[in-house]
Amino acid sequence: MVAAIYARRSTEQNGADADAKSVARQVDNARAFVAARGWTVDAAHVYVDDAVSGAETRKLVNRQRLLDAIDAGPAFHVLVMRDASRFSRRDGDEAFGELKRLAQAGIAVWFYQDGTQFEYGTMGDNVVGFVRAEMNAEFRRQIAKWTYDALRTKAAKGYVTGGRCFGYDNARVNGHVERRINDTEAAVVVRIFESYAAGHGLGTIAKQLNEQSAFRPSPQQGRPAGWAPSSVREILRRPLYRGQIVWNRSKKRDKAGQLNQSRRRPEDWLRVDQPELRIVSVALTDSVDARLGAMRSRMLRLSDGRLLGRPPGEGARYLLTGLLTCADCGGGFEALSRASGRRRAFVYGCATHRRKGACICANGLVAPMEDADASVLQTVEETLLNPAIIGRALAYAEAAPPRGARSRLGRRREGHRPLDGGDRGRRRTRSARGGARHV
């Protein structure tokens, strides 16, 4: 009988035995298990995922290759692995269902650790299989909790819990890692704060730093080295340069163990003052924070909170850049210039079309800047600045309840008037007939 082997080593090693920490050892033990039963191993069907969590199914590339081979009509009918946790650490019902589907496809799944075969179909087998799968998932959850607690303890003491931060060097001291100010990089940080406080924009600062070949952070994989407006913005916002460590601002994984980063509530953040790590003076940070605050208060936003361009007068040289969007691709428009006799004519055009080509966006039309600006300003003057319209808007705003009160009122009304099947059907019919309305 021909057998396949699957081995996986997790990124989470706390509490794991030596066998679970080595995919090579798992493969060797599986081969020994197969040989003891007189089976043979097909070398083309030894699948290994190294340093991947059992819950991170999207990263289990070779496990997916194994499943694809089974779907295509496998050249084997036995699959050997250390135990069920190697195949999956998802929640109990999901992990049990994955093994069940293998058995339904005609694959005999064996675990060499205890010499048992995966079974299902009876109450006893189903209960035991589910409980084992849920215990494997709980082990993953406990590992995550232990890791979180250990990192929180380190952060509370001011120790490094991640990688290196620009402006500092990491130094190992008595089993933990501490930060030390890097004078060369710290000088660049101060220069960025000074330039921004002097009124320069993010893009201007980035270009100046690149032209001066200033020290820069290591780029992400596949990206060119150099300062960008986004990296300048992060420098200005980082509390560490102000002498404060802020930890626990985001969560790396969701409840299912999948990589799905999300922000935590500000009240859950851990703040640790470390004045010896301050790089930028209080007066300079106050000046920068004042300008950042002023920009946020003037930032143009859509109704759902998304940013709509830059604040007026903050770095945007042209009226409609950051406001115009392409009707074909949804990308932004940028200002372009063309030779026109002895002077240059300025137009607005789709940035996606110009930068990525017609295969991405075929909209090569341009709008003369002077005409577009004049048309928009005229429309604003005739409509938004019309005294009658402003009066109606103010009256509506004064009469309308606050947004929070309006939502609570709506929930109470919905709670007192539940929809039955007929109401739902009639509402769907009206919606389909009338379509969506946009204000």
pLDDT at 249 > cutoff 50: yes
pLDDT digits (tens, 9 = 90+) for 169-211: 999 999 899 999 999 999 999 999 999 999 998 888 988 998 8
Task: Catalogue the long-range contacts made by 399-402 (C-beta closer than 8 Å, 24 or more residues apart).
Answer: none
Instruction: Supply the Cα-derived Rg of the chain in whole angstroms.
Output: 30
| pLDDT for res 298 | 67
Question: Could you give the residue range(s) of every CATH 3.40.50.1390 domain in the chain?
Answer: 2-147
The beta-strand segments (E) located in 309-419 are 333-340, 343-350, 366-368
DSSP annotation string for 363-375:
---EEEHHHHHHH
Q: State the fold for domain 168-298.
A: Hect, E3 ligase catalytic domain fold (3.90.1750)
Which pLDDT score, from 0 to 100, does residue 73 have?
A: 84
Domain with CATH 3.90.1750.20 in the chain: 168-298
Q: Using CA atoms, how far apart are residues 258 and 90, in angstroms rounded to an integer?
A: 9
Q: What is the mean predicted confidence (pLDDT) over 226-249?
A: 90
Tokens of 259: 């990589």
Candidates 159, 140, 139, 162; CA nearest to 249 is: 162
What CATH code would you report for 2-147? 3.40.50.1390
What is the spatial distance between Cα 173 and Cα 176, in angstroms, rounded to a whole number? Answer: 5
Say yes or no to pLDDT of 104 above 90: yes
Q: What is the mean pLDDT of residues 290-318?
A: 66
